[in-house]
Copies of this chain bind each other. A is one copy, B any other.
């Protein structure tokens, strides 16, 4: 069912979206602020994917860049709508709605900024069901909707349109090159598609799920209940039913470098009692693999979420700091993200990892 989103929902949505961002997808504080600035006391209509007419014309919008740069370089706020308008002009057709391409503190919010500015509704779905570092890593692409043409807008009004036909990896490669030259952050509109395409290719209801997660965590804290139980309860009835606590400990080392437009690195977490052996997470913008005592315990595309060990507040890869006490959760992803064609696009081998994909619920604890 379609519903209305208000400014008062944004803190919960940001929290839940950041959890689903699995370390990436951008900073929740910045994302929330960008929407608040334009929404005021207005409302945004969120469309349920099952209720879209077949020929509704949807243009997703997002920010691209390295999270390490995204937190330094706050957008003016008008760039995502400029990207949308540039793609509309290029295609000669106005959008009926926008949509996220991924879940995350920024990228669940950017379509809301566009909606607040333009009055367009937002579709409750996305193309990653989490966050991934590259524009080609979309269920949209896996199931036949291509990203080109893509429109990219820069903070000084630069407009770039990239068309690589069916080659979404080449689109990512060229758009990343432009984004690097824009200083590390760009705003994009891409994967224009019909309502029928959304139903066929998108991960449904990730905005409402993010909002429900963020709200459940907050309400549990307020009621002095376990936010971890609240997360598990909330996810039980979704397409992400399995939650596993992978490790609890203290961040003892973070290695992070921004190369080729991405934030890459690893974090080491040590048990507080010193007994349970070292735990390591490797990331490229998002967390990709979690290894405990030499054994893989969760791997992309399943979610590896680092959260505060008490409050369950999600921590992004660029927010990781020495000494933080954290829990690491593994969350199962929907079936449409685990097919062989989906794994070819954003499974371990797409990141150069040799380890095979094993669902998080099947790893031996």
- Measured CB to CB, the residues of A under 8 A from B are 90, 156-165, 167, 170, 173-174, 176-178, 180-182
Contact = CB atoms under 8 A, between A and B. Distances in A.
A73 to B, nearest CB: 16
A87 to B, nearest CB: 11
Given A174-B181, A178-B177, A157 B161 contact: no
Number of this chain's copies in the complex: 2
A90 B149 CA distance: 13
Contacts of A177: 177-178, 180-181
Given A174-B181, A177-B178, A159 B167 contact: no
B161 A160 contact: yes
A136 to B, nearest CB: 14
Nearest to A89: B90
Contact of A161 (B161, B173, B181): B161
Contacts of A159: 161-164
A93 to B, nearest CB: 15
Contacts of A90: 90, 161
Contact of A170 (B156, B162, B163, B167): B156
B174 A163 contact: no
A358 to B, nearest CB: 35
A174 B173 CA distance: 13
Contact of A164 (B158, B161, B165, B180): B158
Nearest to A182: B174
A174 B161 contact: no
14 contacts: A90-B90, A156-B164, A158-B163, A158-B167, A158-B174, A159-B162, A159-B163, A160-B161, A160-B163, A161-B161, A174-B181, A177-B178, A177-B181, A178-B178
A90 B161 CA distance: 10
A162 B154 CA distance: 11
Contacts of A160: 160-163, 174
A164 B181 CA distance: 13
A163 to B, nearest CB: 4
Contacts of A182: 174
Contacts of A173: 181
Nearest to A176: B181
Nearest to A181: B177
Given A90-B161, A177-B181, 20 more contacts: A90-B90, A156-B170, A158-B162, A158-B164, A158-B165, A158-B174, A159-B161, A159-B162, A160-B160, A160-B161, A160-B162, A160-B163, A161-B161, A173-B181, A174-B181, A174-B182, A176-B181, A177-B177, A177-B178, A177-B180
A166 to B, nearest CB: 10
A237 B220 CA distance: 88
B162 A157 contact: no
A297 to B, nearest CB: 36
A180 B260 CA distance: 13
Contacts of A158: 162-165, 167, 170, 174
A171 B174 CA distance: 15
- Which 5 residue pairs across A and B have the least CB separation, nearest first? A177-B181, A161-B161, A159-B163, A177-B177, A158-B164
| Residue of A156, A159, A165, A182 contacting most chain B CB atoms (<10 Å) | A159
